[in-house]
Amino acid sequence: MAKDIAKMRNIGISAHIDSGKTTLTERILFFCNRIHAIHEVRGKDGVGATMDSMELEKERGITIASAATNVQWKNIDINIIDTPGHVDFTIEVERALRVLDGAILVLCSVAGVQSQSITVDRQLKRYNVPRVAFVNKCDRTGANPYRVADQLREKLNLNSVMMQVPIGLEEKHEGVVDLITMEALYFDGDENYAVRKAEIPSELQAEAEEKREIMLDALSMFDEELMELMMEEADIPVEVINRAVRKGTLDLELCPVFLGSAYKNKGVQPLLDAVENYLPCPTDIENKALDLDNDEAEVILEADNGKAPVALAFKLEDGQYGQLTYIRIYQGEVKKGSELYNIRSKKKFKVGRLVRMHSNNMEDITEAGAGDIVALFGIECASGDTFVQNGMNLSMTSMFVPEPVISLSIEPKDKKASDKMAKALNRFTKEDPTFRTYVDEESNQTIVQGMGELHLEVYIERMKREYGAEVTTGAPQVAYREAISSSVDFNYTHKKQTGGSGQYARVAGRMEPMEEGEYEFVSEIKGGVIPTEYIPSCDKGFQSALDKGSLIGHPIVGVKMTINDGQYHAVDSSDQAFQTAARAAFREAYMKAKPVILEPIMKVSVEGPSEFQGNIFGSINQRRGIIIGSTEEGAMCTVEAEVPLSEMFGYSTVLRSSTQGKAEFTMEFAKYSKVPTSISEELVKAFQEKNKNK
Amino acid sequence: MVKEELTKNSPLRILEKATHGGLGKGNIAVIASRRGIGKTACLVHIATDKLMRDKHVIHVSFSSRTDHILDWYEDIFREISQKRDLENAMEVHDELVKNRVIMNFNQDGVSMDQVLNSVKAMIENGQKGTDAIVVDGYDFTKNNDGNVIAKVKNFAKEMDLEIWFTDSYEGEVVQEGAIPSNLKCCEENLSVIMVLKNEGDVMNLNLVKDHGNEIKEDLSLILDSKTLLIARK
């Protein structure tokens, strides 16, 4: 039976690295009776936290890929998406964010709002995800949740309101005062698992009342009844307050703040109540799909089981029994045995096993309704694919996939590693459309391509750990392109008439640069000077020259070839002759058309304390970067710039050392643009050297 | 039309002539008007004109996000280049982008000292040879004791550059040729002051202070209501 949508919550837990996000998730699983023992992230028992199933994660104590798990809290059904916290895996974070309806923003009570919290918060804002904040680690020395609440206001511009007051901080942290019910909550039962309600300690009474006033003032904007009751100075029922908090949170105009220490099992249960009371159910959120029949126009989906199903595959995992595909159902129901259609691969498939996941364990189910997050078994697909009822043409994500900009040669250490490597590559390319692989014909090397240095490093590492494939890697190569900068006419005759069957073909026309698109072929041949059957041969010949440009051997883009004249010989002309003529004509014209080298330019965003901004500006300037702008708010600054990818190798180390490790950066591909002449000359020289040595 | 010719014929040359050779390095100018009349467009036009003459400009904003300001620059550049049929517009555009930096601040949380420090860091490490700074959205009614602008003036002298501000006055009827009251406290440090005013159907740009010189005649400049470019009357 499909579940009651109003009782469903799809939440994510987002945080800066090391804020205790995985620990919190672990406690949530525990309190919802899903696991029987608590394992620490860096535990001595060697089991590792339940959510961190990848070996690599256990070793590093960080969570890289997001896993989904389902828990019950009271009568609420919660799907938790564990999102990666590290800055270099923001693509994973964003993919996970798409399927969430609400989030818990975890902050460290000592470190407060850190740079990654800002990034995560920005992503939450971009996807309009309502959130509650949890100030963790209140038992640590230097804990100050009030300061964190202020930072939420100042740095993240959130309307943060404390919903609780701590009972003791640092080593004296015992529990919290609930400002809605005005009760003290202690977590001191058997290993702190039970919540003990008591009267507010007398020394906290005044503070609690003061903070309650502040809270109610902030809430009064969201509920008229609450405002009236406040003016009458009447008692305010708990439901009225909860209604106001929920409205403010869902409208993204309020961020309720909760406290505790996940590690010490304090404050987790009230946080779960907050998830139930204040975070949205799937029908509270508007989700949109793109109509592929209508230029990717937005279509609103309804979380209604009666409608045709639309689901997004947001995560693939290799399980013991084959490939597991996590899906979020946005509309309609998915039933075991029913048929779905994959928009990307344009293939129908049958839903075999349907399971609900609890981290590494699973439960078989027969159907799942709108709003739910479940997993499918043995489906041939890639991450980000949209599944719909046959006949629909909707996609949850844009079909645009950026071209990889960096490549690396990899070589297995031995025969055994070779098979494993192939298996791993097959898997990764399915998971991530921006990760590609091919075998270079010339060197017979396997090349992997991706969106950045770290992107590839992670896959190399995963290959080793998950598949036991040891590989050696070459130096990273930037995916340059070649293009022409002016138009030229060409006229080339290919003639070979020395013994045997001869070859003869002449092609003439124009080669022009093109702003958009990679290649275009136009035939203006009149009067059959080139017979119709040989015109495709010319096209083919030109195309065969595109693969490797004469400057540095990289692909040529943005060329329009027009043929308008030619000549043939009744006996000696052939398909082959015209192809050869076209290719040679292209090569000859290419060198006259002022060829240039294009390089990938990355959009780089660096965040760090203002006192280091000079160093940040300098580091970008030294890398041929163009600073687009900077934004300074409080003590933090964000610098946005465009920097050539080839200059970004090793940037993380440089940045870290010049800012005492306090700055972080993200980058994404922006565009291709012309390489400055001096560097272009060097590249050409290096290419010629390499060819000479062959 | 090529870039040089375009800037030579720009209406902004009239402004330079009227102000006896322009603002000049080490000096501050202010364009004042009511809200929503087109100060930002004026400022972006002035900045773009400088960029087109191969100068380096830092745009300091207290009011909007970086992408919002970028849109302004794109719009103004498109207007100028299309209207005057600029040759190699794309290449000129790419050149301009290299010489321009936008810095965004929140006036509530950041003091002028901090802003000047940041701008200095930018000039020294990112944009050597900056010729002009344009400042948009600064609230002259806050910290209204004149000291802040005196610091800016010293900065302009020290770094050898021009600084252009916008000023928004609200609820005040500024008389013909008068200086808006919120600028009075720092007037001594402002070399050039202009007021942008709605007079009938047109928006006139009037010079109300010109270094120490007496203002004799009308500037004859308006703000085109359609393109928001500074134009001849």
Domain membership of residue B33 (yes or no) is: yes
> Are A617 and B104 a contacting pair at CB < 8 A?
no
Of A261, A258, A275, which is closest to residue A20 (Cα–Cα)? A261
Domain membership of residue B145 (yes or no) is: yes
- CB-nearest to B118 from A613, A618, A627 is A613
> Are B104 and A618 a contacting pair at CB < 8 A?
no
Residue in B73, B99, B104, B112 to test binding to A, most A beta-carbons within 10 Å: B104
Tokens standing for B167?
């000023």
**In the block, which residue shows the tokens 């890398």?**
A623
d(CA A351, CA A333): 12
Tokens standing for A687?
């290419």
CA distance A636 to chain B (A): 11
- CB-nearest to B121 from A614, A620, A634 is A614
> Are B66 and A628 a contacting pair at CB < 8 A?
yes
Asked whether the beta carbons of B49 and B10 are under 8 A apart, the reply is: yes
CA distance A12 to chain B (A): 28
pLDDT at A593 over 50: yes
Q: Is A410 helix (H, G, I), strand (E, B) or coil?
A: strand
Residue in A126, A631, A675 to test binding to B, most B beta-carbons within 10 Å: A631
At residue A360 the predicted structure's pLDDT band, cuts being 50, 70 and 90, is low
Of A188, A189, A185, A212, which is closest to residue A201 (Cα–Cα)? A185
pLDDT at A52 over 70: no
Q: Which residue of A has its CA nearest to B106?
A: A633
- pLDDT for the residue numbered B4: 81
pLDDT at A454 over 80: no
Q: Which residue of B has its CA nearest to A610?
A: B118
Residue in A627, A672, A675 to test binding to B, most B beta-carbons within 10 Å: A627
Domain membership of residue B232 (yes or no) is: no
- CB-nearest to A629 from B104, B114, B115 is B104
pLDDT tens track for A253-296? 899 999 988 888 888 889 988 998 899 988 888 888 887 777 77
Q: Which residue of A has its CA nearest to B61?
A: A631
Q: Which residue of A has its CA nearest to B121?
A: A614
- CB-nearest to A620 from B94, B97, B126 is B126
The count of CB pairs under 8 A between chains A and B is 66
Q: Which residue of A has its CA nearest to B125?
A: A618
Nearest 5°: the CA angle A388, A394, A398 is 120
Q: A201 exposed, middle or buried (CB, 10 Å; 0-12, 13-18, 19+)? A: middle
Write the secondary structure of B60-84 as one string of H (helix), E (strand) and C (coil): EECCCCHHHHHHHHHHHHHHHHHHC
Of A510, A492, A491, which is closest to residue A593 (Cα–Cα)? A510
Average pLDDT on A200-221 reads 89
pLDDT tens track for B127-137? 888 999 999 98
* Percent of chain A that is helix, strand, coil (3-state, to 5): 30, 30, 35
Query: For residue A402, how far is the Cα from the chain centroid?
Result: 13
More confident residue, A416 or A296: A416
Alpha helices in A401-518 (DSSP H): 415-431, 453-467
- CB-nearest to B109 from A615, A629, A634 is A634
d(CA B42, CA A578): 59
Structural domain including B112 reads 1-224
B130-136 and B162-168 beta bridge pairing: parallel
> Are A629 and B103 a contacting pair at CB < 8 A?
yes
Residue A411: partners with Cβ closer than 8 Å, 6 or more residues away: A445, A446, A471, A472, A473, A474
Q: Which residues of B touch A610 (CB under 8 A)?
A: 114, 118
Q: What DSSP string runs through A227-264?
A: HHHHHTT----HHHHHHHHHHHHHTTS-EEEEE-BTTT
**In the block, which residue shows the tokens 């007496």?**
B214
Ramachandran angles phi, psi of A195, nearest 5°: -95, 125
pLDDT tens track for B61-79? 987 667 788 888 999 998 8
d(CA B39, CA B36): 8
Whether A136 has a binding-site annotation, put simply, is: yes
- pLDDT for the residue numbered A42: 46
**In the block, which residue shows the tokens 């375009």?**
B6
Q: What is the CATH number of the domain that holds B59?
A: 3.40.50.300
Ramachandran angles phi, psi of A315, nearest 5°: -160, 135
d(CA B157, CA B180): 25
Tokens standing for A693?
């040595």
Whether A192 has a binding-site annotation, put simply, is: no
Of A382, A341, A342, A336, which is closest to residue A355 (Cα–Cα)? A336
pLDDT at A51 over 60: no
Q: Which residue of B has its CA nearest to A630?
A: B103
Q: B158 exposed, middle or buried (CB, 10 Å; 0-12, 13-18, 19+)? A: exposed
Q: Which residue of A has its CA nearest to B120?
A: A614
d(CA A308, CA A370): 10
- CB-nearest to B125 from A621, A631, A632 is A621
Whether A139 has a binding-site annotation, put simply, is: yes
pLDDT at A38 over 70: no
- pLDDT for the residue numbered B64: 64
> Are B70 and A613 a contacting pair at CB < 8 A?
no
- pLDDT for the residue numbered A566: 92
pLDDT at A60 over 70: no
Q: A172 exposed, middle or buried (CB, 10 Å; 0-12, 13-18, 19+)? A: exposed
- pLDDT for the residue numbered B221: 84
- CB-nearest to A630 from B70, B104, B109 is B104
> Are A629 and B70 a contacting pair at CB < 8 A?
yes
Domain membership of residue B41 (yes or no) is: yes
Cα dihedral B13/B19/B20/B21 (nearest 10): -40
Of B16, B17, B87, which is closest to residue B52 (Cα–Cα)? B87
Domain membership of residue B229 (yes or no) is: no
> Are B97 and A154 a contacting pair at CB < 8 A?
no
Domain membership of residue B168 (yes or no) is: yes
- CB-nearest to B126 from A621, A632, A633 is A621
CA distance B209 to chain A (A): 32
- CB-nearest to A629 from B66, B109, B121 is B66
Q: Which residues of A touch B124 (CB under 8 A)?
A: 614
Ramachandran angles phi, psi of A516, nearest 5°: -115, 155
CA distance A126 to chain B (A): 15
Burial A187-196 (b: 16+ CB within 10 A, else e): beeeebeebe
Q: Which residues of A touch B127 (CB under 8 A)?
A: 627
Asked whether the beta carbons of B103 and A629 are under 8 A apart, the reply is: yes
- CB-nearest to A633 from B106, B122, B127 is B106
Cα atoms in the 13 Å half-sphere on the side-chain side of A212: 19
Give the DSSP H or E segment for B204: strand B202-210
Q: Which residues of B touch A626 (CB under 8 A)?
A: 97-98
Average pLDDT on B201-215 reads 83
- pLDDT for the residue numbered A423: 87
Domain membership of residue B129 (yes or no) is: yes
Residue ranges of domains in chain A, CATH in brackets: 5-278 (3.40.50.300), 287-396 (2.40.30.10), 406-478 (3.30.70.870), 482-593 (3.30.230.10), 598-678 (3.30.70.240)
How many domains does chain B divide into?
1
Cα dihedral B153/B158/B163/B168 (nearest 10): -30
> Are A628 and B98 a contacting pair at CB < 8 A?
no
- pLDDT for the residue numbered A597: 94
Domain membership of residue B233 (yes or no) is: no
Average pLDDT on A104-122 reads 79
> Residues in chain B whose beta carbon is closer than 8 A to a beta carbon of chain A?
65-66, 69-70, 94, 97-98, 101-106, 109-110, 114-115, 118, 121-122, 124-127
Helices A21-31, A268-278: axis angle to 10 degrees equals 80
Q: Is A104 helix (H, G, I), strand (E, B) or coil?
A: strand
**In the block, which residue shows the tokens 């398909």?**
A575
> Are A613 and B69 a contacting pair at CB < 8 A?
no
> Are A618 and B118 a contacting pair at CB < 8 A?
no
d(CA B197, CA B189): 23
**In the block, which residue shows the tokens 């309720």?**
A256
CA distance B106 to chain A (A): 6
Nearest 5°: the CA angle B202, B205, B211 is 170
At residue B144 the predicted structure's pLDDT band, cuts being 50, 70 and 90, is low
Whether A422 has a binding-site annotation, put simply, is: no
> Are B69 and A634 a contacting pair at CB < 8 A?
no
> Are B125 and A610 a contacting pair at CB < 8 A?
no
Average pLDDT on A599-624 reads 88
ipTM: 0.83
Q: What is the largest CA-CA distance in chain A?
A: 110
What is the average pLDDT score of chain A? 82
pLDDT at A531 over 80: yes
> Are A629 and B69 a contacting pair at CB < 8 A?
yes
d(CA A143, CA A149): 12
pLDDT tens track for B1-18? 787 887 887 888 888 887
CA distances from B51 to A343, B64, B126 (A): 48, 21, 16
